[in-house]
A and B are shown apart, each in its own frame.
Chain A
């Protein structure tokens, strides 16, 4: 993985010193809250309902053991013993004192981490496929390009005060696990007919109050042109993006209002001015960054097949976990493991200090010291020898992290909602917990099959409800929580925005409504191989509306 060079170390240390001074001046009353707020936000410090919140960047979701162990240490020493992994592959702590944040940032810097650009109207943490470097279906590892984008976008003087925040995602596989079409810029790394690497470029995706699927503006951008082309997009956005209305300030609105053809023309025109100048990436520089992401030397471990077969016979729960949470690796003797942070009835994405430390140990011992945070709020061990899977499983059982529910209905994305967030209008975690408990039976979950359920506690859509196969949006209506359901959303290579199915449900009704939707699907699917999303696309909303609301219409 990437290691800081001298420049990175100096940059992060300088920022720790600068922000420590700003915190000291704030605590001494030398600067006002109005002066301090933009400074703290630039360093990931929010004020939530109960306390400050610190959001720490995990660049493209990649961590090593020492880094995760440090996060566990921070949770224990400065917070309340846990952290919350987010849909931007980051981690948030919910209770840090402002006076402790300089010490936390110093601890983070010691393991090459920081909280820079995790908030504010700048380019946020670049996300990537959580199976990057391990996936069998990958053309190339997308993370070197994410790292190049990180270096380019960190305190970029031209792009630090954009009309609004800006999010970039990169995938290296046809099967999109990074939700690139819901991003301001989505990059799909691929090869052209000549075998050269480049990107399909998507622009103007996003969620929030106005969900939009990104539009492809270029089918193949040579890798050397990555920065010049992104600069061209950002320049067009910076120049024409709306600054008069916060709710219309994202690039998706500009793309929508300008039209994709005109935006493409503007970007291409700007790019012509830039493409052969200093932003062109030298081949040697790309390969130098590539080298940081060189895959670990994976020795052949052919004994894995036999040991997995035996362990399967021995343990039904191991067998189920294997089927659900373990995916094919590009090396046949290895696998990538999803560590579910969605224990039945638990808060999605939360991990305790001791769990973080234990997972760090497991990664060091069994996954070449590599870990990923997925945007679906789970952790990933990217390179586990199949021969070690049973040992990894047993270690995860010991710390309560062996829930076999990856991609099932209880693998719920949920924002913190009104239990923590100052912007939220309704709670989301307790709804996730109740649905999880309702569908606790693994047998039932597996019968239902792949189902992405996503919950947001306000219209800002941090819980990605628009692109859930089933999406739940919590709002406040007449002083009570009301939950609106959308169906048919998806965040993969066939991205779609879900449709609102009808009137919302109270917190007492919502779990029953979800169950009714699931039962309706089970009743109409062609067979077990037809997934929820495919069935919905085939039949549309009518049968679900009928199941949910028919009684009301008749009564009325």
Chain B
């Protein structure tokens, strides 16, 4: 399973493609369950990059357990949460957010 992620051009903040736009958390990211869906996300990413909305666009592996989307690689877990030594920074600083490690 994959989701589309990038960094927003204006401030570099990590974002995930969700519901027709770019969300600041991974929670509601659009899931690609098959190759066709991955291709669709990839095309959206390429268009957003070309349109100067985002940079560093990637499809990343995730798992979903109990409705919670979680990145597979530690690198992506940290992007989705924030620095593991500073729980007061990044997405994890938001109420009810999940920490990477």
User: A residues near B, CB below 8 A?
Assistant: 26-27, 29, 32-33, 47-52, 80, 95-99, 347, 418-420, 422, 424, 427, 429-430, 433, 476, 479-481
Contact = CB atoms under 8 A, between A and B. Distances in A.
A33 B49 contact: yes
A414 to B, nearest CB: 10
A347 B10 CA distance: 28
A481 B84 CA distance: 14
A429 B100 CA distance: 14
A433 B75 contact: no
B11 interface: yes
A48 B56 CA distance: 10
A419 B78 contact: yes
Nearest to A52: B12
B74 A481 contact: yes
A480 B75 CA distance: 10
A456 to B, nearest CB: 16
Interface in B1-40: 7, 9-14
Interface string B76-91: 0011001111100110
B12 A427 contact: no
Given A29-B52, A50-B90, A418 B12 contact: no
B17 to A, nearest CB: 18
B74 A429 contact: no
B75 A49 contact: yes
A19 B81 CA distance: 31
B5 to A, nearest CB: 11
Contact of B79 (A29, A49, A96, A476): A49
Contacts of A476: 74
B12 A419 contact: no
Contacts of A99: 10-11
A47 B10 contact: no
B70 to A, nearest CB: 14
Contacts of B56: 47, 422
Contact of B51 (A29, A418, A424): A29
B14 A49 contact: yes
A47 B73 contact: no
A430 B84 contact: yes
B84 to A, nearest CB: 6
B55 interface: yes
A478 B62 CA distance: 16
B73 A50 contact: no
B12 A97 contact: yes
A26 B12 CA distance: 13
Contacts of A97: 10-12
B16 to A, nearest CB: 13
B85 A430 contact: yes
16 contacts: A26-B9, A27-B52, A32-B52, A47-B56, A50-B14, A50-B83, A51-B12, A97-B10, A98-B9, A419-B86, A427-B74, A429-B83, A429-B84, A429-B85, A430-B84, A479-B74
A481 B85 CA distance: 16
Nearest to B90: A50
Contacts of B85: 347, 419, 427, 429-430, 433
A51 B11 contact: yes
B83 A419 contact: yes
B11 A50 contact: no
Contacts of B84: 419, 427, 429-430
A321 to B, nearest CB: 25
Q: Among B10, B13, B51, B85, find the residue whose CB has the most chain A CB atoms closer than 10 A.
A: B85
A437 B85 CA distance: 14
Contacts of A433: 85
Given A430-B84, A479-B73, A98 B12 contact: yes
Given A50-B83, A430-B85, A418 B11 contact: no
Q: Among A48, A50, A429, A481, find the residue whose CB has the most chain B CB atoms closer than 10 A.
A: A50
A95 B8 CA distance: 13
B54 to A, nearest CB: 9
Contacts of B78: 49, 418-419, 427
A33 B55 contact: yes
Contacts of B52: 26-27, 29, 32-33
A50 B74 CA distance: 14
Contacts of A429: 83-85
A162 to B, nearest CB: 25
B82 A50 contact: yes
A80 B51 contact: no
A347 B82 CA distance: 15
A50 B13 contact: yes
Contacts of A51: 7, 11-14
